Amino acid sequence: MDKPLLEVNDLHVAFKTHGGSVKAVRGVSFTLHHGETLAIVGESGCGKSVTSLAVMGLIPQPPGKITAGSIRFKDRELTRFKSKEMRKIQGVDISMIFQDPMTALNPTLTIGTQLTEGIIQNKTARIEARQKALNMLDLVGIPNPKERLKQYPHQLSGGMRQRIVIAMALICEPDLVIADEPTTALDVTIQAQILELFDRIQKETGVAMIMITHDLGVVAKVADRIAVMYAGKIVEMGSKRDIFYRSEHPYTRALLNSVVRLDLPSAALKPISGTPPDLFSPPVGCAFADRCPFAMEVCDRVQPPSATVDDHHIVDCWLQDKRASRFVQKVEKKENEGELI
């Protein structure tokens, strides 16, 4: 396989507050290759967006800081770059699609101005920049592109604005696009159109993508690989088939069980009991132990090691230890007896 486009290794990000230091990201590692889509999923507050902001070099300093780890993009160590150096990469080599297009767009500037300002700064002639903007609007499926260039964000629908934000992210032909909850504010019909758009653009341009979301339906549509995050750590990573059909971590299974199944309309939802841990003082052991029905004594005391299920399927859980099999059988037996009563 070719060399990874992006390599994140043991990344730690913390935020200083009056109450102490919030350890938002705690040892995240993953790789991404050209043309690949990695989805990062998990509950709100698990560190998904902070991880993506760290890759983009957008962690506000202060109060935020990358305290340890490495982010290598095209063999360049981004954690050593100063703000001026990062600005040469942001929007050019790495672009970001933010969650709310209305706040990502400037309401006082026309769509044409916002689309072309990035490439004009890269010393592209205005006529060429305008033509590129028209081509990009056509690529993202916006009709009457010449008229749209003259309009302001408030004159467009939510779906149109999201397409404009996608066009802005792609206009400088980046190698990597990070999409942070790009379909959350859209209705189901527009969501489907945007996801189809992502798929088509990726096939046409070969851009790599990191999709940040809590929507497993979106993940099933676009992802090649999935990283499941909990309390600032990746607890399971694998292919789409690994995560949806062969998941091993109790948290991943709990996420899947809490999703409405259209193929099983009578199936009862199983919410995850309890709350995520306080990241001011993260647990010494497994962060999911307090909410896990399979938790053992070792889970509270020691961080679980990474276990390789197969070539690309990795799980951080003590249940992968061979000595845990008897314990799991006992718990499952009790659960089954409880359902029969």
Residue with tokens 């889509």: 37
Q: Is the pLDDT of residue 228 over 50?
A: yes
Pick the CATH number of 1-85+213-341 from 3.40.50.300, 3.40.50.460, 3.30.720.110, 3.40.50.2300: 3.40.50.300
**Taking residues 78-107, what's their average pLDDT?**
86
d(CA 24, CA 12): 8
**Taking residues 95-99, what's their average pLDDT?**
84
Q: Is the pLDDT of residue 182 over 90?
A: no
Q: Is the pLDDT of residue 68 over 80?
A: yes
pLDDT band at 110, cuts 50/70/90?
very high
> Over the chain, what is the mean pLDDT?
86
Residues above pLDDT 90, as percent of the chain: 35
Q: Which two tokens stand for residue 73?
A: 């993009």
Q: Is the pLDDT of residue 244 over 50?
A: yes
Q: Is the distance from CB of 210 to CB of 179 less than 8 angstroms? A: yes
DSSP states along 183-249: TTTS-HHHHHHHHHHHHHHHHHH--EEEEE-S-HHHHHHH-SEEEEEETTEEEEEEEHHHHHHS--S
Residue scoring higher pLDDT (111 or 124): 111
d(CA 61, CA 55): 14
State the maximum Cα–Cα separation within the chain, in Å, rounded to a whole number: 75
Q: Which two tokens stand for residue 114?
A: 């916002």
pLDDT band at 104, cuts 50/70/90?
confident
pLDDT band at 201, cuts 50/70/90?
confident
d(CA 93, CA 77): 14
Least confident of 47-56, 89-98, 213-222, 303-312: 213-222
Q: Is the pLDDT of residue 243 over 80?
A: yes
**Taking residues 208-232, what's their average pLDDT?**
89
**Taking residues 40-51, what's their average pLDDT?**
91
- 285-341 pLDDT, tens digit per residue, is 999 999 998 888 889 999 998 989 887 899 999 988 887 666 666 666 666 665 543
d(CA 71, CA 6): 7
Q: Is the pLDDT of residue 105 over 90?
A: no
- How far CA 335 is from CA of 170, 322, 330, in Å, comes to 50, 21, 9
Per-residue pLDDT, 286: 94
- 155-167 pLDDT, tens digit per residue, is 888 788 888 888 8
**Taking residues 164-184, what's their average pLDDT?**
85
DSSP E strand stretches across the chain: 6-17, 20-32, 37-41, 64-73, 76-77, 94-97, 176-180, 208-212, 225-230, 233-239, 306-308, 314-316
Q: Is the distance from CB of 252 to CB of 243 less than 8 angstroms? A: yes
Per-residue pLDDT, 29: 95
| Three-state DSSP state, 169 | helix
Q: Where are the domains of the chain?
A: 1-85+213-341
pLDDT band at 202, cuts 50/70/90?
confident
- 254-283 pLDDT, tens digit per residue, is 988 887 766 666 666 778 888 889 899 899
Closest CA to 157 of 198, 195, 102, 98: 102
Per-residue pLDDT, 341: 35
Per-residue pLDDT, 55: 94
Residue scoring higher pLDDT (74 or 340): 74
